[in-house]
Structure 1
Amino acid sequence: MVANAYRAELHETSVPFGTVNIAASTKTSSIYEDPRLTVQMARTLLALSDQAPRGPLNIARFLNAKQDDYARHVAIRALGMSGASKDLFGIIDANPTDSAVEKVIDDTARISALRALAMIHKPEVVNGLITRVEKSNDPALRKGILSALARLHFTEGEWKGDSWGTRPDTRGPYYQPEAWGESQKIATALKSVLAKASSEDAAYLVSELNRNRIQFNEALDRIVTLAAKDKKLLPDAVGQLANADTIPAAGIPLLISAASSNPPISAGVLSQPLLL
């Protein structure tokens, strides 16, 4: 009942994209404080298409730091599955100095919006993220955009009923990662960022490539060079070496160093290149 009422209110009080009714309706202003009801409302988002009149500030109420963690997670999944890219980009692009925006859209809401966008494999989403990573001067937002692009590099392959075998690969984020129409564009954008990145930003991007099982020769060369100077980057270097077709000569000393490091690097990470 609450979810249906919320659906009706979104349609009744909505205004053109880019502006919203800032003040919460007296009918629903308090229900955002109840996590159980918020979860029901978040699930309602699944039934609304990307063209539904919702508005960034209405959606941001589900995603900001004031929201319950579980309800926020459900909202992220619902928004990603419903393909609500316009509203999600509206959250990211909202002017943080606007007093009305500041009350609803915080850093948590922006990062949550990027997590939802990372679920939407559409060309317009990829183009929007690439455009924004090139223009963003906010370090936290920039990292969030890079994480979203890395997650979008692959998509889940179509399972045709074949057996996963006795030892299926459960590393994630996809069981069967496959390239799709925008993979090359994403790869080009990530390589461009990596080439110009500072040591800290390069290390972060390489860690995201590792997390999403993306292998670039450019990333391998860069992280091996950086790890030779900064031992804190050894885990990221080992992660890239684990996925390399061949381990370069410069990587051998890093593996030896990683094997004898104190504190030791995770055995699971360290064993990967040794098993190739």
Structure 2
Amino acid sequence: MTHIFCALSFLLLQADVDPGAAAASGPTGGSAIVEMLHNSGPVAMAVLGLLLIASLYSWSIILGKWSSFRRAAAQSKRFLRAFRKAGRLQEIAAVSEQFKPSPLVNVFDEVYETYRRQTGGYGPPKNVIAIERAAQTASSESLTVMEEKLTWLATIGAISPFIGLFGTIMGIVDAFHGLGTAGAATLRAVAPGVSEALITTAAGLIVAVPAVVAYNQFTARCREFGSRMDDFSRELLNSMEELSLKPNQDPMEREAARGLHQ
């Protein structure tokens, strides 16, 4: 990249600036960008079009993931409050669909379904290891869903600068070609190629930066949700293990333990 900017600087230093040409260089600001786009060649327009498609796709992923993660975080807090206030697992199972955006619900549903297959919904779990495996499987599946399409953000963030760099190289080639055609090192001869080089470089960075930032943030949120699911799995399993019937347990305590699972 340093060599590219050195080449651009060399072209600008070698070009003779004509005051009349500079005065007639045209509009400035936003209209200047429009003018540069209008004068861009087919290669530059293809690069910009590809970057535009990548940008729109990355922003659709960013907005979709941001909304889904926000809902998942809010519903997880509500679900935990309901779980800790409930007196029986059956109560949570009956209302779990209300908190469905939360990944904790998937963990609870899988664990509760495994528990029901073991006990029919009554009494302590017969195989805690099987329930632990069910919780791990549900956590893994939920994380897989949450991480869906994040690799596209990483890909767009990684390749967009190189796509822009391709446009930069082709712009420099066009600038050198303009010098050879004009036969004199004037600013008007190199300006189209230099403008193409700069605008494609800027476009590549504009597309890449939001994608990289969003990928890092969403990856961190996925790790956070993974930790929350692990903590909830342990909390759920602990609540079940505390209800394990002991040989010398009082009959009244046994009935109370059964009542929590009903």
Question: TM-score normalized by structure 2?
Answer: 0.19
Instruction: Give the structure, 1 or 2, with the largest relative contact order (CA under 8 Å, sep 6 or more).
Output: 2
Q: Where is the helix percentage greater, Structure 1 or Structure 2?
A: 2
Question: TM-score normalized by structure 1?
Answer: 0.19
The structure that has the greater radius of gyration is: 2
